[in-house]
Amino acid sequence: DDKLLSEPLSHPDFFNVKELFSLKDLFDARVHLGHKKGCRHRFMEPYIFGCRLDQDIIDLDQTMQHLQLALNFTAHIAYRKGIILFISRKRQFCHLVESTARECGEYAHTRYWQGGLLTNAHIQFGSGVRLPDLLVFLSSLNNAFQPHVAIRDAAKMNIPTVGVVDTNCNPCLITYPIPGNDDSPTAMELYCKLFRMTIIRAKDKRRQSEVFDELR
C-alpha cells in the first residue's frame, strides 16, 4: 500500500501529462489572447509575452510549463482518491463545467457561492462532511470582476488550488496558476478536455495498480 502511494512521487511526470497538449493546440484554442492593456493586473506582468494593438498576449511557453505542473498535480490528487471541485462563475460555461465534472466523477460549483461553504462547512452540510482536496478554477473572477471568494477560503482551509488566470486576475493566492484565456469557448473546452483526460487517466492507473497488488 505504501509503495502504491510513494511510487508515483518519484517520477517528475508519472502520468505523462505532457503528451495531452502541445503549443499548437494552445495557440489554436486562442489561449494566448488576454484582455486589453487597461485591464492588466500588475502581478500578471511576468506572464505576459507582449502587447499588440493594446491587447495583451500571454507567453505560451510559460503557460505550457504551468499547465504541465498543474495537470501533474491534479493527476496525483485524483490518483490518491482526493475530492476535486471545479469552480467557474462564467455563466456561458456553467453547463460545460458541470458536465465535465459529472463525467470525471468529481464535483462542480458554478453557482452563487454561499459564504460559509468551506469555512463553515460543519454547520452548512452537517458534521462529518469531507471538504474538497483540490479546487480547480476555470475562471478565477466572479460576476463582479473581483477575485472569487473560494480562493481566499481555500487558502484559509489549507486546500491547494489550481486556477486559470487571465490578464485581469490576481494569481497571488493560487498554488498552481495557469496563465491563459478564460473567455473564449474554444479555450474553455480545451481546459475541460485536458482536466477530464488527466483525471480519468489517473483514476484508471490507480485501479490498475490496485488490481496488480491484489494479484500479487
Q: Which residues make up the interface to another protein (CB under 8 A)?
A: 81, 83, 85, 95, 98, 101-102, 105-109, 111, 114, 117, 123-130, 132
Cell 484565456 identifies what position? Answer: 181
CA atoms of 47 and 55, how far apart (whole Å): 14
Rg value, the chain, Cα: 18
Residue 183: CB minimum distance to another protein, A: 20
Would you say 43 or 125 has its CB closer to another protein? 125
Residue 105: CB minimum distance to another protein, A: 8
Residue 121: CB minimum distance to another protein, A: 9
Would you say 10 or 127 has its CB closer to another protein? 127
Would you say 116 or 186 has its CB closer to another protein? 116
Residue 35: CB minimum distance to another protein, A: 28
Q: How many CB atoms lie within 10 A of CB 194?
A: 19
Would you say 44 or 78 has its CB closer to another protein? 78
